[in-house]
Structure 1
Amino acid sequence: MSTDIDIRQALRVFQIIADKGEQRGNRHYFKGIYAMSGFDGYDVELTDEKVTLNIYFHSRFDLGYKNQIDKEAFFEKINKIDALRKSKDKS
């Protein structure tokens, strides 16, 4: 488990994907990231198929990845999606 995760940012990105993403089965897809929530809404998952971030109740999380390059690419996608919100706020 890593401690360098911005849970608030990840949850914002989850909401952006849920709002703007394309429905694919039980997940939403937007700009390279899939988002899915548990049936009760207390846990969410963000994944790009190489990296998976699961966020649980009380901001606990698990981050799964095979290598640092995949992890960095995943968080670059997360940052780009979050930046869409920031640019909208400036308008």
Structure 2
Amino acid sequence: MKNELDSKFLLQVFDKIRQHGAKENEQYKLNGITAFTDHDGYTLFIEDVNVKLQFGFHNQYHFDYDSKDKYESFEKKLKEIDKEY
């Protein structure tokens, strides 16, 4: 299954979650989405309870999810954050 989210969009949403989300330890939470980085900051993680996204160096990313419906719900949440903030 091909995912259509582009790197600029992902970075933009990650930044909005960090700016407007609640910080818990080293993670930021906003509208059901959690965003954080690895220890060196080169890999970003954006996830909800059903979908995990790992975005890394050279704009490579990997999604982990069980169904298309869960992915589409996750994508909708990201688009809502982008639009709302």
> TM over 0.5: same fold?
yes
What corresponds to 2:38 in structure 1? 38
Within-5 A mapping of 1:4-15: 4-15=4-15
Q: How many positions carry a matched residue from both structures? A: 85
Contact 1:55-1:61 within 8 A present in 2 as well: yes
Looking at CA atoms only, which structure, 1 or 2, has the larger radius of gyration?
1
Within-5 A mapping of 1:1-91: 2-85=2-85
Where does structure 1 lack aligned partners over 5 or more consecutive residues? Answer: 86-91
Percent identity over the alignment is 28
Contact 1:2-1:63 within 8 A present in 2 as well: no
Give structure 1 regions of 4+ aligned residues with deviation exceeding 4 angstroms: none
TM-score where L is the length of structure 1:
0.85
| RMSD, aligned α-carbons | 1.4
TM-score where L is the length of structure 2:
0.91
Where does structure 2 lack aligned partners over 5 or more consecutive residues? Answer: none
